[in-house]
Homo-oligomer: A and B are copies of this chain.
Amino acid sequence: MPTHVFEPTYYHHTFGAHPPVLHIAPGDTVRTTCVDAAGQDRTLQQVTPRGNPMTGPFYVEGAMPGDTLVVRLEQLRPNRNQAWSGAVLAANVVDPEDVPVLAQARGSGRWLDWEVDLASNTARLRSTVRGLEGLELPLEPMLGCFGVAPSRGEAISTATSGPHGGNMDYRGFKEGVTAYFPVQVEGALFFLGDGHALQGDGEIAGTGLEISMDVQFSVDLIKGQHIRWPRGEDREYIFTVGNARPLDQCVQHATSEMLRWLTTQYGLDIQGASQLLGQCVRYDLGNVFDPAYTMVCKMPKKLLQRLPTRS
C-alpha cells in the first residue's frame, strides 16, 4: 500500500466540505504534520490563526455517506521540545463558588511552558509554580481533535465536537488506536490536529500539553456500515464516543451506540447486551471544557471474544 507524505501549507478551523489536499485510497498510509492548537509549527512559528487548526482534509476514494471510515493512528510523535498549557482549571469544572479563586490565581499569566524531551519521553515544567519545582511527567501523546466533514453542508468549528468527531480531547486517542467515523460526504474528508503531549481526563485546565506533531495514519473503509457516533478500539477495548452537553446526554449517545454495536455485530439481543454492559461496561471522560462534552463507553474485547456465539 502506498505511503503519502503530505506537508500542509494551510489549515482549516472548521470541519466542512473544504477542497481536499490529497486523494488517498483505502489501505493507504499518510505521513503528515499538525500544528499545535495555537497554530504554531515545529519551529514555534505561528503559521495560521489559533483555535485548533486542522491538517487536511484527505479525500478517501470510494467513501460515501453510509460507510464507515477507519483511521489507524500509527504514529503520534511530538516534533519539538516545547509545549504550553493553561495556567488554571477551567471555570466550568469547579463549583461556581470556586470560580473567583481560579480567576485570582490565573493572574496575568494564562499559559505555562513545558520543556519536552523526546529522548526520555518526558515533559518538564519550566514555568515557576510553587510546589512543582522540577516536575517531570511522562508523555502520552494523543490527538485532541480529528474527524470528518459533517452532513447537511455544515462547517463545524474545531472548538467543538459532534457525530463527525471533532474536538473530543479524549486521551484514549493515542498511538496504536483505531478510530471509526461515520462518512457523511463523498470522500469522507478527514481532518486532524490539536496534538497533546499529555493530558488528563476532561482537559480540565482547558488544554493538554499543547504541541505540534508528526503523525502517521492509515485509512480504510467499511462499505455500507452505518454508524451514528465515532467508535474506536485499542488492544483491550472497543469503544463508542458521545459528544454533547450535558454529560448525561454524552452517556446516552455513547451507550446507545454501543448497544447498536453489540446487537448488530456480536450476536446479542437487547437483554444480552444489557447484561454485559450492566456488569462490565467502563466509561472514560473526554473533554468537559469545550462547547460539547465527551464521554466514552468501553467494552473489554476479551469478554466479547469469549461470548458463546463468537467462539
Q: A105's contact among B89, B95, B253, B271, by CB below 8 Å, is which?
A: B271
Q: Is A87 touching B246 in the complex (CB atoms < 8 A)?
A: no
Q: Is A95 touching B247 in the complex (CB atoms < 8 A)?
A: no
Interface size, chain A (Cβ < 8 Å): 93
Q: Is A209 touching B307 in the complex (CB atoms < 8 A)?
A: no
Please classify the interface of chain A as helix (H, G, I), strand (E, B), loop, or mixed, using the class held by over half of its residues: mixed
Copies in the complex: 4
Give A206's nearest chain B residue, CB to CB: B278
A245 and B242 alpha carbons, distance in the complex (Å): 15
Give A303's nearest chain B residue, CB to CB: B137
A13 and B86 alpha carbons, distance in the complex (Å): 37
> Cβ of A14: which chain B residues have Cβ within 8 Å of it?
152-155
Interface string of A6-37 (1 = CB under 8 A from B): 00000001101000000000000000000000
Give A107's nearest chain B residue, CB to CB: B271
A112 and B270 alpha carbons, distance in the complex (Å): 13
Which residues of A131-165 have CB atoms within 8 Å of chain B's CB atoms? 131-135, 137, 152-157, 159
Q: Beyond the given A89-B270, A132-B276, please list 7 additional residue pairs across the A-B interface where CB-CB is below 8 A.
A: A13-B152, A130-B269, A132-B268, A154-B156, A198-B279, A202-B283, A205-B278
